[in-house]
Structure 1
Amino acid sequence: MTDVAYDGIVYDLDEPLYHSLPGLSSTGAKKILRSPAHFHHYISQPQEPKPEFDQGSAVHTKVLGVGADIAIYPDGTGDEVFEFEGKELDNVLASNGAVSTKAAKAFEVEKRAEGLIPVKREKGRVVNLMAESVLADPTARRLLESGAPEVSMFATDPATGVYERGRLDWLGRMALDLKTTSDDASEEAFAKTVFRLGYDVQLAHYEHIYHLITGETIPYLWVVVESNAPYLTGVHRLGEDELLMARRRAKEARERYARGIESGEWPGYKTRSGGPIGILRAPVWNVNQYIDEFEGAHA
């Protein structure tokens, strides 16, 4: 369906280069399951850096040893300085600590251009605490003792002809995905995050590519660390039934992508009824709430 830029497992591939390559990525798979129109918009519009991802990216660098490091905004309390308009500033922040001054904005632009992640001092402290939590967790530390970070994978699905790409955070005896969460890292809480953000589809997408390349299926684990004190770490895998569902969703993503490439059409939402107007049905939680409120009630 497209010219193959890479094939197989590729180590030490530059991250910006990886993201510029063609093919269906895990993010693309999640977008196209929302709707083909969402996917088409995603690949058609330039993706700007999102500050809300900075903390997670910085933790990745600290734990995995590759990626963008942090740059602390000079705030008058450390050794950091910034040359701006002919002056050497030891504080670029506003009087209230906001990153709103011309100097602070210039610092951000310069550091991002250098491949660094600009953060305020407190966020830098939190990044270090989160990374320390992961590396102090005995299960996570054992899994990270052997393997390689940021491993790129490329393969063509024989069933659909779809060229796929994926980038594992860590590949050793198992595949690891390092996640940060503003919720908690418990099984119950992270399970909700997994299905809300489509991490299950990401897993199945990576698993599929790895199997196409090697003929093998290896365990896939999430190492998740909290972004709030006490910065606990959890290590989780997907249940067997949930893995089967994830594989089916990833297969649907490939099929939708293949149809879009062939037809050039990227439709929006499709109603369950098949008609132009959707019919809203109460979700299970709302039905249960209704039963709790009115079961046995008298008019």
Structure 2
Amino acid sequence: MSYRGLVHRLDEAVYHRQPGLSSTGAKKILKSPAHYDHYVKHREEPKAEFDLGSAVHAKVLGVGAQIAVYPDGTGTEEFEYDGQVLTNVLATNGAISTKAAKAFELDARENGLIPVKRVTARVVDLMAESVLSNPIAAKLLTDGRPEVSMFETDPDTGVPMRGRIDWLGKRIIDLKTTAGDASENEFAIHAFRYGYDIQNAWYEHLHHLITGETLPYLFIVVETTAPYLTAVHRLGEDELLMARRRAREARERYARCTETGEWPGYNTRTGQPIGILRAPVWNVNQYIDEFQGSAA
């Protein structure tokens, strides 16, 4: 079955099986078409480091995979393994290294659950409490719907697009977790490093194609370490303009590569076989401080 427009309550696994260029794919192809080609041909398995973020999403938004706590002998959890009912599947040092623990993890994932240790489950609760006790974040999540899928074709390039909004109301809300600071300056570094600006422009454009509306896009950011602070941010106007141009470039690259069947590596814009290394801004500033400042 093919989908178009806004789709509510679409199973996440079904969403990921749908055709179309996603914001993740857009970020890959901006790195190089070869990276995108490898990405679609060798899908990555879910990584354990993403489990915390997924669990927090489910706790805050009320949808998605719930957690399953490893039986560790301190709670009521049990697991039947090798003909025995176990109340502790962890190693003596608490590691997830026993055969029983591995079996528990496999069983949980096969049943659509996220296996976590008890301490992680507590962190999930604290992070969710932080988000929902933040007055701005709580108000943003009062009116709207979670996990809204989007499907539409870009009219300028003919590229089929897809996206999945964390929370859609009067604004598009993107819930992010960060191992660093949720502060404005620190999260900006994190956001641009991981292409959250591209995701912002991608979802904004896709939603506009479907509805004709351009909604404000906000990031709710919660820290993964104590005191688990929450903050709300948005892209600056100049940053959003740059993100829109980069997102458009991703669609244009995808259209060209699809038409030619070629998925080249680096230097795809310049066409030069040998790249020229330019000093980043911090290096130029360091040079100015070290030499031009001393000369004065």
Question: What per-residue deviation string (whole Å, max 9, x for no partner) do you get for residues 1-39 of structure 1?
Answer: xxx921111101110000011000010011000000000
Show structure 2 runs of 5+ residues with no match.
none
Matched, 1:130 2:127: yes
Which residue in 2 is equivalent to 1:170?
167
Contact 2:179 2:224 in 1 (8 A): yes
Which residue in 2 is equivalent to 1:237?
234
Contact 1:273 1:279 in 2 (8 A): no
Matched, 1:41 2:33: no
Which residue in 1 is equivalent to 2:148?
151
The whole-number CA distance in structure 2 between the counterparts of 1:77 and 1:141 is: 33
CA drift of 1:284 comes to 1.4
Contact 1:108 1:118 in 2 (8 A): yes
- Residues 60-139 of structure 1 aligned to structure 2 (within 5 Å): 60-139=57-136
The whole-number CA distance in structure 1 between the counterparts of 2:23 and 2:270 is: 29
CA drift of 1:287 comes to 1.6
**Change in 2 beyond 3 A, CA 1:90/1:241:** same
CA drift of 1:296 comes to 5.0
**Change in 2 beyond 3 A, CA 1:44/1:77:** same
Question: What per-residue deviation string (whole Å, max 9, x for no partner) do you get for residues 133-175 of structure 1?
Answer: 0000000111111100000011111111011000000000111
Q: Supply the AA of the counterpart residue of 2:226.
A: A
Matched, 1:51 2:48: yes
CA drift of 1:271 comes to 7.1
**Change in 2 beyond 3 A, CA 1:271/1:173:** closer
Matched, 1:9 2:3: no
CA drift of 1:46 comes to 2.5
Q: Secondary structure at the match of 2:152?
A: strand
Q: Secondary structure at the match of 2:161?
A: strand
Equivalent of residue 291 in structure 1, options 288, 291, 296: 288
**Change in 2 beyond 3 A, CA 1:216/1:103:** same
**Change in 2 beyond 3 A, CA 1:78/1:200:** same
Q: Supply the AA of the counterpart residue of 1:229.
A: A
Question: What per-residue deviation string (whole Å, max 9, x for no partner) do you get for residues 227-264 of structure 1?
Answer: 00000000111111111001000000000011111111
**Change in 2 beyond 3 A, CA 1:259/1:273:** closer
- Residues 194-273 of structure 1 aligned to structure 2 (within 5 Å): 194-270=191-267
TM-score (norm 2): 0.97
Show structure 1 runs of 5+ residues with no match.
none
Q: Secondary structure at the match of 1:235?
A: strand
Alpha-carbon RMSD: 1.3
Which residue in 1 is equivalent to 2:187?
190
Say how many residue pairs are matched: 295
Contact 2:32 2:268 in 1 (8 A): no
The whole-number CA distance in structure 2 between the counterparts of 1:67 and 1:282 is: 44
Q: Percent identity?
A: 71
TM-score (norm 1): 0.96
The whole-number CA distance in structure 1 between the counterparts of 2:261 and 2:2 is: 22
CA drift of 1:283 comes to 1.2
**Change in 2 beyond 3 A, CA 1:294/1:119:** same
